[in-house]
Amino acid sequence: MSTLSRNKFLLTFPDVMIPYLPPHLQSVQVIKWRWLVKFHFGEPHLHYELARAVRGDGWEIGFHCEARDRNLNQYLLHGFRRHLFEIKDCLGDSIEAEMWDRGWTKIYEVYPNAPLTTEYQVELGRRFAQIINCLHPVFIELRNSVAQVHR
């Protein structure tokens, strides 16, 4: 069992997680910082994120709506909330959908903390891929409906 520094854990996380995504989602783009990793499909402000949980002991993993347009963030949150029963059926009751800072919103869970081993990284990578695989079709549906309104 190999233990990783937090920096190494985050920097190598995309290489561990992305292969667990279905092939059509493996083109995800990655933005790495020393304290978090973001994954997006062309809109960096609407992204999946891995970061240490601010509240609670663990890692926050989920979808963040951090667009400059607060109305878009709200629309996406309400849309995800309309699908929350299906999302929880897919991912479990640990998933939350809520307002956040600066008019941002998020759909996420706090994954339990453990030593930063390569085995834990794989476990967290699999769970993160499950979250993306479940949430992304909902996001695409919501994003397409916004695009149609603004034509």
Contact criterion met (CB below 8 Å) for 70 and 103: yes
Q: CB under 8 Å to 122, separation ≥6 — which residues?
A: 16
pLDDT at 44: 97
Domain residue spans of the chain: 6-149
**Which SS3 state, helix, strand or coil, does residue 104 take?**
coil
pLDDT at 150: 53
Question: Which residue is listed with tokens 């079709």?
Answer: 137
Tens digits of per-residue pLDDT, 8-22? Answer: 999 999 999 999 999
Tens digits of per-residue pLDDT, 47-81? Answer: 999 999 987 789 999 999 999 999 999 999 999 99
pLDDT at 102: 81
Q: CB under 8 Å to 79, separation ≥6 — which residues?
A: 138, 141, 142, 145
pLDDT at 145: 86
Question: pTM score > 0.85 for this model?
Answer: yes
Tens digits of per-residue pLDDT, 99-129? Answer: 988 889 999 999 999 999 999 999 999 999 9
* Assigned CATH for 6-149: 3.30.1460
pLDDT at 56: 74
